[in-house]
Chain A
Amino acid sequence: MIKAILIFNNHGKPRLSKFYEHYNEDIEQQIIRETFHLVSKRDENVCNFLEGGMLIGGSDYKLIYRHYATLYFVFCVDSSESELGILDLIQVFVETLDKCFENVCELDLIFHVDKVHNILAEMVMGGMVLETNMNEIITQVDAQNKMEKSEVRLTLPVHYFYLSVYQAGQVDTGRYCRSACSCRISCKEHEPPGNAQKHQHW
């Protein structure tokens, strides 16, 4: 069983924290800090498995982590999970994120925490692995996002429709605009309709 999934950056700031067993809020923060300390001390060429820290259950639990650029993906598991299998799972998770966000970077995770949670919910449920097929996961997530968007279109005023028509030529999947800006946010939502001639990013 997976006890917790944590994503934090090289300085220890949490980017995603999902616990499958309940802890108090302050204990959760302490766990994140402790895990960061344990994992950041590791060299680049050592193995990816660690004994869990004291707060998260000590030597009964293992921390399986992978370091991608500026982010650490840490899964805290007990002995019923295969260590090498979890390593592969982390890889599949990151690849899925990559497909969903197109060249995912840390900023994507910062600004779209809820979407990351949704993707994760399709992969791991209740501490157990639900689905490992990347395409399947992406299909489900897309379908749910579409449902959300259809609701948004129904409730929000017409000028958004105007905006989306304007954008039609430029946006390929209808989700994200291909500007050179690094914040990569959806252009549908950040600009009041008055400036529909050009969309600005900041």
Chain B
Amino acid sequence: MPAPIRLRELIRTIRTARTQAEEREMIQKECAAIRSSFREEDNTYRCRNVAKLLYMHMLGYPAHFGQLECLKLIASQKFTDKRIGYLGAMLLLDERQDVHLLMTNCIKNDLNHSTQYVQGLALCTLGCMGSSEMCRDLAGEVEKLLKTSNSYLRKKAALCAVHVIRKVPELMEMFLPATKNLLSEKNHGVLHTSVVLLTEMCERSPDMLAHFRKLVPQLVRILKNLIMSGYSPEHDVSGISDPFLQVRILRLLRILGKSDDDSSEAMNDILAQVATNTETSKNVGNAILYETVLTIMDIKSESGLRVLAINILGRFLLNNDKNIRYVALTSLLKTVQTDHNAVQRHRSTIVDCLKDLDVSIKRRAMELSFALVNGNNIRGMMKELLYFLDSCDPEFKADCASGVFLAAEKYAPSKRWHIDTIMRVLTTAGSYVRDDSVPNLIQLITNSVEMHAYTVQRLYKALLDDISQQPLVQVASWCIGEYGDLLVSGQCEEEEPIQVSEDEVLDVLEGLLVSNLSAPVTRGYSLTAIMKLSTRFSSVNRIKKVVSIYGSSIDVELQQRAVEYNALFKKYDHMRPALLERMPIMEKSASNGPTEIVQTNGETEPSVVEPKHLPPVTQPVNQANDLLDLLGGNDVVPVIQTTMPTKPASAGGELLDLLGDLSLSGGPAPASSVPTSQPSFLMDGLSSQPLFNDIAAAAIPPMTAYNKNGLKIDFTFERANPNPNIAVITIHASNSTEADMTDFVFQAAVPKTFQLQLLSPSSNVVPALNQGTVTQVIRVLNPQKQQLRMRIKLTYTLKGSPVQDLAEVNNFPPQSWQ
């Protein structure tokens, strides 16, 4: 058999192959030759064959038939053979094959070989792929080699020991005595690997950590020598003396100093020295500085040092080198939790990094920007982040969108801003937002009661532009269904109102139903929206037609809904208005709105309707009852005693309509509705929205709250401008008796849903005979726009005898609490 070709012949031949098939053919031929050569048990050429096999393995062809040959090579006496054999073992074998155990004896012999290079080879192989059994058997040998004076072997033994510890953690104690004088070595290679070994031991066991803490002074000294030593040619890398060792030592110091005051204190000086003395013009200097910064942040360093560290990171951010910026952003991300203020100082630089071309830097900058958002900078940051959302890659859009939602929720300065932001996200990155953002957004919209008209108008306009982004379309159709009446009536305070007719709205919604771009869920939304509009619009026939068409739709979900809505038109027409009323404000923690259901008409809902479309009759009623209870369980009689000055003629009917509608958000009641069975309760519960939208926010008439025994108390009202929920009431107390009322104290109590603030009175003497008044300002916060009720307590001294009186004030004009 001719001598097998050499490795480079093979390589040359393979390189001439022009196609993959040719290459495969050549390799197969060669494999066959190698296999037959192995069978012949030829010692001279085995090494060559295995080398070729390794090359073919690298190219991706199977090479397991060479595993045993590697073992034979290892067992050979020649260094060349051993070298290739061990290399083959490292590349082809691993602990999953049983063959590797056969190596154990060879390695053991080689660990005790006379030639250091053979010992080195054995250590290397054991350190790369030794299994736990092998490690257990050979740990003793490794430990012995750890103590030799030969630095070449010592450093290899140290790394081999690391591998042994990783595989068999229980053997860690065995290496402890050998580590005693590892750090007193002069050879940097040994020092380096010893530090790695110590690091590994400290990371694995807290006892070791405590034990090695006493090495901190020694490590500090070594580091100091490295920095101060000046130029040493053998360890120099770009002007710095052995940066790899410096970085390793810094890392070990970090582990040792964590949560330990003494060690941290011992390190403070050297860290400051490294931080200030290291040259930053080359990458090596920056590598050391970076490691120093990480160490400073992790140990219990003094605050001056921490500020120095953050400033170094800030400097990194301005560096031209992208790697440095990346590294700085990563570490700032780690420190932003603990040193938030310091990182805030670099906010503008971080925001600039959003515009970087590099994907990795953009991602880090985005995460860091979200971490830095707070109440103060929300507007500016959000502008930048939205701009980023517009222009970033699709892989970022989902994360960015969810981040924006979270930040907006936490720090939104106003409802309108919040809604605007969310709309912007939906229009730009609509298809990437997460599924749960749709219900969250709907809940947010129902909560911001005064923004309904504005919201629905904007959503309608967005729909006209683009119906491909499903989350946007879903939210928009829901809103149009709920607030379509606002849209058509064209009232919007925030923006220029648009003129939309009912037909146009229905056109749009029907368009959604038939469009190819709509997902089935979206179609469901729009069908329900159309149905809801049947109580808000007047063109009911068109809606009936649409609904009946879909009664035979192929989509089962749509069909079921349509059939049941049809039934609503036909058999249950009297229930329709009650069912399709406005939704109340949803509680965030509750699943989907009120969980109790008062049977208004004693009949149950069609089951297909989603839970959140169930009529929200109960909540206001319960709240009204609470109010009454709080105030001492007084009358259940309707509380509204004020006159309603500009009530139109059909007052009675409309009031009842409104009660039937129970609208918590504004708008004139729809035309057809049926009075419900318990008008008085519902009247109690009637809250919030103005009954008459045409009453402007004019002056609220004053009222007399109390008039008894010569003491008259008048209330005058103002609205606090920045917050319309706050009513400012000024009381004027006047005394028509002949004697002064001294020690006059006015106290007031309001139900739980309100908050009261009583400012100090002008004086506590009410002069007699109406000569003067005592004034006091009360501020009432009424977030839920409940009807204002108050109980007052008056104490004063008249003609020497103390007088005390309690009274209820129920005759607040409606404008005061709306």
Contacts and interface: CB of A to CB of B under 8 A. Distances in A.
A17 B60 CA distance: 10
A126 B7 contact: no
A28 B59 CA distance: 10
A131 B290 contact: no
A86 B51 CA distance: 29
A79 B83 CA distance: 32
B94 A22 contact: yes
Contact of A88 (B120, B243, B251, B321): B243
Contact of A22 (B59, B96, B193): B96
Given A82-B287, A185-B8, A130 B117 contact: no
B508 interface: no
B27 to A, nearest CB: 14
Interface stretch (A68-76, A96-104, A146-154, A171-179): A146-154
Nearest to A144: B117
A17 B58 contact: yes
Interface stretch (B352-360, B534-542, B755-763): B352-360
Contact of A85 (B60, B83, B189, B243): B243
Interface in B205-245: 234-235, 237, 242-245
A136 interface: yes
A111 interface: yes
Contact of A14 (B58, B83, B284): B58
A148 B237 contact: no
Contacts of B247: 82, 85
Given A135-B234, A144-B83, A84 B327 contact: yes
B155 interface: yes
Contacts of B62: 25
Contacts of A14: 58-60
Given A47-B326, A151-B79, A92 B117 contact: no
B54 A113 contact: yes
Interface stretch (B122-130, B410-418, B616-624, B793-801): B122-130
Q: How large is the interface on A (under 10, 10 to 19, 20 to 34, 35 or more residues)?
A: 35 or more
Contacts of A129: 192, 196, 244
B475 interface: no
A50 B360 contact: yes
Most buried by A among B7, B44, B58, B78: B58
A13 B54 CA distance: 15
A147 B358 contact: no
A89 B128 contact: no
A197 interface: no
Interface string A14-26: 1011101010011
Interface stretch (B157-165, B549-557, B699-707): B157-165
Given A114-B51, A125-B127, A126-B163, A148 B196 contact: no
Interface residues of B, number: 72
A129 B194 CA distance: 11
Contacts of B54: 113-114
Given A113-B58, A126-B128, A88 B237 contact: yes
A117 interface: yes
Contacts of B136: none
Given A22-B96, A47-B322, A152 B80 contact: yes
A167 interface: no
Nearest to B115: A147
Contacts of B63: 25
Nearest to A84: B287
Contacts of B124: 121, 125-126
A96 B81 CA distance: 24
Nearest to B324: A84
Interface in A26-50: 26, 28-29, 43, 45-50
Interface in B128-146: 128-129
Contacts of B83: 114, 118, 144, 148
A49 B360 contact: yes
B566 interface: no
Contacts of A189: 6
A143 interface: yes
B152 interface: yes
Nearest to A45: B322
Given A47-B323, A126-B163, 18 more contacts: A26-B60, A46-B360, A47-B358, A49-B360, A82-B247, A83-B323, A87-B287, A88-B243, A114-B87, A128-B193, A130-B155, A136-B189, A140-B120, A143-B117, A147-B115, A148-B79, A151-B79, A189-B6
13 contacts: A14-B59, A47-B321, A47-B325, A84-B327, A88-B243, A113-B55, A113-B58, A117-B87, A118-B87, A128-B162, A128-B193, A130-B159, A152-B80
Interface of A: 14, 16-18, 20, 22, 25-26, 28-29, 43, 45-51, 82-85, 87-89, 92, 110-111, 113-114, 117-118, 121, 125-133, 135-136, 140, 143-144, 147-148, 151-152, 155, 185, 189-190
